[in-house]
Amino acid sequence: MDDAQLEERVHECGQRLAAGLAGADTGGLRHPLAAGERRMMRSLIGDPRLRAALFRFVDVRPACHSRTELVRHLSEFLEEAGAGSGNARRLARLTGRRELTLPTAGAAGLGVASMAHRFIAGEDAQAAAPELSSLWEQGRCVTLDLLGEATLTESEGERYAQRCTQTLRALAQMSAGWAPNQLLEHDGLGPLPRANLSVKVSALTPHLRANAPERALSAARDRLLELLRLARELDAHLHVDMESLDTRESITELFLELLALDEFADGPPAGIVLQGYLTDSEEQLERLLGWLEQHPRGAPFTIRLVKGAYWDHEVVLAAQHGWRAPVFTDRRSCDRHYEHLTRRLLDARAGGMALRPAIASHNLRSLAHAIAYSDALGLAPDALELQVLRGLGDDTAAAIATYGRRVRVYCPVGDLVAGMAYLVRRLLENTSNDSFLAAQTTGADINLLLERP
């Protein structure tokens, strides 16, 4: 298939996904306040000052214990944004009010909590169980992410490890009762575990520092080792998330070192995240593929390709130190690179490597490109997994499932306070002027959304 044929196939796949999005059945997952949230998203996209004010409000919302506190914080943030009464009236209209009054601010506070709970499946795995079961029934598998990162003490790291242990056990127990689903439980490389947990190594130790990698590895090794052993015992999948660039090397080195141990040669199935917005992510991918060639495993290795959620952090940090930004600063360049990495992953799978590519995106073009290229290689539909975030990707997940492709929903669990940093990153990521969801929210033409980057 040449480039022109591939592009034609990308547009066909994209149009089919778009049709699925238009008529998506979220199985009751679409929140009743979603329409109001979409209006808020459009408002955030159009006014950077309002974005900044509301992001600050979201950040302090868990510490507000009364409507008076909500009003005070919200009013102060709007005033500091330089738009005061105009933005206050705008926010009031979003909640169906004429002015920013005590009840309106209270509604805004509740709206923030409601929005957070659209992203967060529950305080723990048990609380999230009904939704996880519902997702499975609708043809969507899941991975759970325990909210909380950058622990400050050893006791916090130990508590996070204990939460991971409890979550793995709860997932294994609850998923045993789910109905069989061939697409979600099996591919050409063998069985896929129902229980799937995403882990942040930075939450296992307070010593994860770029300038002291050995100390970080020593502190986190034992806890991650025990989690791998438990995942093997429970026949679960353990996935390591990535965060800021300064911790990537330590996290990658530790995880690959442990997976190379003889005791893990045949399991558990495991994987790691690759951040496509980093300019050196191709070199990182080749490193991972090279490791896999040198350490063949009985259990397949998953690489989850994401764009990345720490763009603002990386850009600001680089500017502070006078460094060159380690991320793509142009959306089209990033999208082109993401497609290049997608093809490399799928080529490796087609070449016989025991690799499961997982393409995590809400960008219609990125998803359609992955499907089209996978088909062009002659791979079976189950060779490719697509992933979305809970709350932002509900309609997309429904469209992918209707397409007959495996989709995995990334479901954070934890309390509202722990979820605020996650929520702010998701809002920053998806209300930027060049994000796909922003374009979709403002009604961009489907042909523009599917345009080659």
The residues spanned by each domain of the chain are 121-421
Q: What is the pTM of this model?
A: 0.84
Q: DSSP for 355-403?
A: EEEEEE---HHHHHHHHHHHHHTT--GGG-EEEEETTTSHHHHHHHHHH
Residue in the structure block whose two tokens are 């778009």: 18
Mean pLDDT, all residues of the chain: 82
222-261: pLDDT as tens digits: 999 999 999 999 999 999 999 888 889 989 999 999 999 9
How confident is the model at residue 40, as a pLDDT? Answer: 55
Cα distances (Å, whole numbers) of residue 449 to 41, 228, 372, 373, 387: 18, 40, 16, 18, 19
**Vertex 286: Cα angle to 285 and 289 (nearest 5):** 85
Residue in the structure block whose two tokens are 């093997």: 232
d(CA 29, CA 142): 14
Residue 347 token pair: 């080529």
349-398: pLDDT as tens digits: 999 999 999 999 989 999 999 999 999 999 999 999 999 999 888 889 99
d(CA 239, CA 221): 15
Pick the CATH number of 121-421 from 3.20.20.220, 3.40.50.2300, 2.40.50.70, 3.10.20.740: 3.20.20.220
From 399, 403, 420, select the one nearest 26 (Cα to Cα).
Answer: 399
- The answer to whether 241 touches 253, Cβ cutoff 8 Å, is no
83-106: pLDDT as tens digits: 444 444 554 444 444 444 444 444
- Kindly tell me if the per-residue pLDDT of 403 is higher than 70: yes
Query: What's 33's DSSP letter?
Result: T
d(CA 64, CA 70): 6
Q: Are strands 237-240 and 186-187 parallel, antiparallel or unpaired?
A: unpaired
**Three-state DSSP class for 260?**
coil
Task: Summarize the confidence of residues 174-189 as an average pLDDT.
Answer: 97
DSSP H/E element including 281? helix 281-294
Better pLDDT: 187 or 69: 187
**Vertex 303: Cα angle to 423 and 256 (nearest 5):** 105
